[in-house]
Structure 1
Amino acid sequence: MTTDTDPVTVSTVGALLKAVDAVVGEGPAVVGVEGRLTGVPGFTLPPGAALVGAGPGAALVFDGGDGLRLSRDNRVAELRLETAPAARAIHNDTSVDGLGTLELEQVSTLGRVELLARDAIGSGHVRIDGLDIEAADAREATPRPRGFNVEVLQGAFTLYNQQPDPDTLITCDLVGIGVGREGAPVRGGGIFVSGTVDGGRVEGRRLHTETVHSDGGIPAGTPGRITGGVFVVYAAIREVVNEGPVTTYGVNDMVLDLWGEVESWTARGPVTSHGPSGIGFVSFGVIRRLTVAAPIETFGVGARGFNIYDGTVDTAEFDRIVTHADAAVGIQISKPFGTLTVHRGIETHGGVGESLVKGELMRLAASALSLKEGSRALRIRIDGGITVRGAGVPAVEILGSVDVLDISGPVRALGGTQEE
């Protein structure tokens, strides 16, 4: 991609569209946007072209429909793009035979960012270094990947290889992606990266996120649908890092979720769920090392702290896990795994209630540690003790096996008395 040409700088909508059209005729490869341009119609950036902000406050305000469409080997930098929340501020042309390299650097949007491999696209690379999606609504975006008796809503940011052919590969390096605001979460999922279960692949070096606030808007009583604040669906990412807090608010809104493969996943900010059946971290995939260095805290009925329901985790390490409602188990595992450590204890406040498990509502007690049939651990260490406060709730339930169980500090089942 050629971007070292001096940019042609534009400050009106007409000049912008003329400059973009000129790229096809071997005109400038870099178009600079000066100021805030309003009433912009959706347009396509031709192959090889770059669109950059020329000074502070550079922005394109679209007319409410889909905005900037990328084609192949495009770069967008230092620019704000605004449209309606449910529309796509940035998307891509799927009729080209490959993405080449699509780059977003220090871009902010009102509206979704959706990058898809389907139709003619069989390959490509996506590189992001700084993307802030202030508001977006992905609740109606389709298709949705399915698995484990549920479907997953797409996100405010979506990278999705929908091709049925497993030879199609999209690679990525995604750094500095944040979505939503406190008190104003994006709707639908937050950050969504996926291929298909037996088809098109997505493989990445990094997925690093900043602050994430999302609310799926799933109606109560809809067990077959979920979202994730950060969701690696059918994809393989070498390193996931949540630099900032990740918070979800709605029904069946997982905070961190994995169906794919990750070598290392590190959460440095708090992991918080406010909605029913919104699990702090749930894994159906494979993680070599998981480190949650800040508290996991959930507030909704059935909102568990950490789950392994399929796949495995070699090593898992947590700061602290606290849940506040009925059926909100601290840790629940039903598959073999390696070692697990909690540094500052597990505390649950609820009793027995219903929670979403693999697309079905099941009755669970809010135990601190629950190893279901089929689970087997090499070692579990919990420092700081265990406290469960709900009536009739066992502190620990072991129906599987653990080679070494080491709990330092008191193990307290208060039975609803709230005594210390």
Structure 2
Amino acid sequence: MVEIMNSKDLKLAIEDKVDKIVITRSLMLDQPLVLPRHTTLSGKRQENGALPVLMFENSDGIGVQNNNTIIDLVIHAGENKRSIFNAGYDLNGGQFVFSNLTLSGQFSFIVREEMLEAQLILTDIHVLSADTRGYLEQPQKYGVNVLQGALTIYNFNPDVKSLITVHATGIKIGEKNNPVVGSGVFISGFGDNGGKVHVDNLETAAIYSTGKIPFGVADIITGAIFIVNGVYAKHIENYGEVVTYGVNDMVLDAWGQVDDWIVNAPVLSYGPSGVGFVNFGKVVNFNAKAPIETYGLGARGYNQYDGTLEHGDFDSIRTFGDGSVGVQISKHVGEINIHGDIQTHGEIGNSLVKGVNVNLPAYALSIKNGGSVDKLNVIGNVESTGNKVITYLVDDGGIVDDLSIGGAVIATGKGSLPVKVNAGGKTSTNFTQSKGENK
């Protein structure tokens, strides 16, 4: 072990492949620092208790290669740089440990063709700032590209035998009203076929992100938490609010598979065409114990576009904006329970649907052709307040086998209807209609 007080000694320790390097003072470096294999880099608290800061003048920060550990440091690179990145591609990368880190610049761990396996353990990581718009490795599906995240774990190896395993707790991204640019937490495999990522546990504090995508762009999206295809997550739990601010910024998005996703704090979208929870993958259990709310043109509450949700519990869903649907289901789902209300406050407006901008009324509950629900239970009301809106719409081919609404189906806008079931649609009728004319 060696204790380091200046950049010269740090460079010498790297050259000598010292296995344990302890930083005792804040340092400025003029180029990236690539750790030798099996090296641990840590910070030692200074006399006032502050952790040392490693600052990088105009470059990426610290590169890891194999069995590296980085703990107890503040790492400051530019927001369009990488504070931590993967710089080595051994066949077996071994185990990487990252703990108690405050980062400016992207945390990026991307596996290439040369690496078949790696294990990542992340504890108490706060990415203060990042801008990931310049990184071109992006998943492509459903007519859109996804921007990488402030914290990115990406298996870009097409080999189906390649696997990254992840255990992450205490992850915090951005700050309130000061979001990172791009996605927040981004975890992706190579695609439907190729390298995989297995997440046994992902626990987050608050997350704030935005893509700064221009209005009208339909083929680029982000997600505050994005579980992309090729990922299997056993357990995800959000302890802080998850918030997006801009155009096409999803809040919680799944293209992969999640066994249990628990949400303990509000899910909020402030931009156009955001979605609180959008699922294209397979989610076994989703439990939102706090409200999902959107405040933007065409920004929806919960959308099931592909895949399935076997069991979903929602506190309440409210949208404020033209074209902002409360719940829209286009595929089969199992049991859905809404413990409060579904409410929309808007009329017809532009919204992004599978990479295409379309006009949608702000339906509170919409079952599309091909969408089906085994059991749907709403404790409160299903309500729309905009003009020329159908509160509960079942399209041709839409099916709701067992529907129970404890409150009423309400339409208060001019020319609006509480319920419309098209000729080829099917729904049970265990609910009360209020206001408007059913046709």
Kept in 1, the 8 Å contact 2:32–2:60? The answer is yes
Kept in 2, the 8 Å contact 1:98–1:120? The answer is no
2:108 is equivalent to residue 118 of structure 1: no
| Structure 2 residue identity aligned to 1:77 | I
Distance 2:56 2:203 in 1: 28
Structure 1 partner of 2:420: none
| Structure 1 residue identity aligned to 2:14 | V
Q: Deviations over 1:196-228 (max 9, x none)?
A: 221111111011111110010111111011000
Structure 1 partner of 2:34: 44
Structure 1 partner of 2:215: 220
Structure 2 partner of 1:345: 341
Structure 1 partner of 2:378: 382
Q: Deviations over 1:352-403 (max 9, x none)?
A: 1121111111221111110111111111011111221100111101121111
Aligned-residue offset at 1:233 = 0.2
| Structure 2 residue identity aligned to 1:397 | L
**SS at structure 2 position matched to 1:408:** strand
Kept in 1, the 8 Å contact 2:155–2:197? The answer is yes
Distance 1:405 1:240 in 2: 29
Aligned-residue offset at 1:97 = 2.6
Q: Deviations over 1:129-177 (max 9, x none)?
A: 1110000100111210001111110001100001111111111111111
Kept in 2, the 8 Å contact 1:13–1:40? The answer is no
Distance 1:228 1:199 in 2: 22
Q: Note the residue ranges of structure 2 that are not aligned, 5 or more in a row.
A: 417-433
1:141 to 135, 139, 143: 135
Distance 1:372 1:417 in 2: 22
Structure 1 partner of 2:317: 321
**SS at structure 2 position matched to 1:66:** coil
Structure 1 partner of 2:25: 35
Distance 1:108 1:134 in 2: 7
1:302 to 298, 301, 308: 298
Aligned-residue offset at 1:57 = 2.2
Kept in 2, the 8 Å contact 1:247–1:271? The answer is yes
Aligned-residue offset at 1:326 = 0.6
Q: Deviations over 1:17-44 (max 9, x none)?
A: 1122222xxxx41111112112352111
| Structure 1 residue identity aligned to 2:400 | V
1:54 to 15, 26, 44: 44
Q: Note the residue ranges of structure 1 that are not aligned, 5 or more in a row.
A: 1-6
**SS at structure 1 position matched to 2:407:** coil
* TM-score between both structures, scaled by the size of structure 2: 0.91
Kept in 2, the 8 Å contact 1:169–1:200? The answer is yes
Equivalenced residues, count: 410
**Identity rate of aligned residues, in percent?**
36
Structure 1 partner of 2:427: none
Structure 1 partner of 2:2: 8
Distance 2:379 2:415 in 1: 24
Distance 1:408 1:72 in 2: 57
Q: Deviations over 1:317-339 (max 9, x none)?
A: 00011100011000000001100
Kept in 1, the 8 Å contact 2:66–2:88? The answer is no
2:363 to 350, 359, 367: 367
Kept in 2, the 8 Å contact 1:203–1:237? The answer is yes
Structure 1 partner of 2:411: 413
**SS at structure 2 position matched to 1:173:** strand
Structure 2 partner of 1:4: none
2:160 is equivalent to residue 162 of structure 1: no
**SS at structure 2 position matched to 1:20:** helix
| Structure 2 residue identity aligned to 1:354 | N
1:393 to 389, 411, 415: 389
Aligned-residue offset at 1:109 = 0.4
Kept in 1, the 8 Å contact 2:347–2:387? The answer is yes
Kept in 2, the 8 Å contact 1:44–1:69? The answer is yes
**CA RMSD, aligned part only?**
1.5
2:72 is equivalent to residue 78 of structure 1: yes
